[in-house]
């Protein structure tokens, strides 16, 4: 089974990772770990290097998640992407990698995004072609 866990630096994402690892132990699985950094466009020009800092943070998140999976005996592949809508990145990634299950926390780190774009989890549930597990 191909399992995708969407990560940010939140407790909800870490719980989602734990659930994905737990599920991967029961069935031969390939675990994909994805973090999406926001595309800031013109805003980034106001603060030079902000995009680089966000990318670095995302890379640290997925590396830490991969280390957690490895300690549990689960191999994983890590990916970082940049996009306007993390949900859209997750959905597209899942389709491209033939993901059978997306595991995501019910809230992420960016509460502001919930008001601007709708919750990532809700959008993933509505538009993903595969099953989605929301972890509280």
21 pLDDT tier (thresholds 50, 70, 90): very high
Are 31 and 77 a contacting pair, CB within 8 Å? yes
The model's pLDDT over 86-132, given as tens digits with 9 standing for 90+, comes to 999 999 999 999 999 999 988 655 544 444 444 888 899 999 999 99
31: Cβ–Cβ under 8 A, 6 or more apart, which residues? Answer: 3, 5, 20, 21, 24, 69, 74, 75, 76, 77
Domains of the chain are: 2-135 (3.40.50.620)
pTM: 0.88
The gap between the terminal CA atoms of the chain, to the nearest Å, is 22
Tell me the mean pLDDT in the region 20-24.
96
């Amino acid at each position: 089974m191909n399992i995708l866990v969407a990560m940010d630096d939140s407790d909800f994402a870490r719980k989602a990772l734990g659930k994905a690892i737990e599920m991967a132990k029961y069935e031969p699985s390939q675990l994909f770990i994805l973090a999406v950094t926001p595309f800031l466009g013109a805003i980034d020009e106001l603060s030079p290097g902000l995009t680089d800092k966000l990318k670095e943070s995302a890379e640290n998140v997925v590396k830490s998640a991969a280390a957690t999976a490895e300690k549990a005996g689960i191999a994983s592949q890590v990916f970082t992407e940049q996009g306007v809508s993390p949900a859209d990145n997750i959905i597209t990634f899942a389709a491209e990698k033939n993901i059978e299950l997306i595991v995501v926390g019910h809230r992420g780190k960016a509460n502001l995004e919930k008001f601007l774009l709708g919750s990532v989890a809700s959008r993933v549930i509505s538009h993903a072609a595969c099953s989605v597990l929301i972890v509280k």
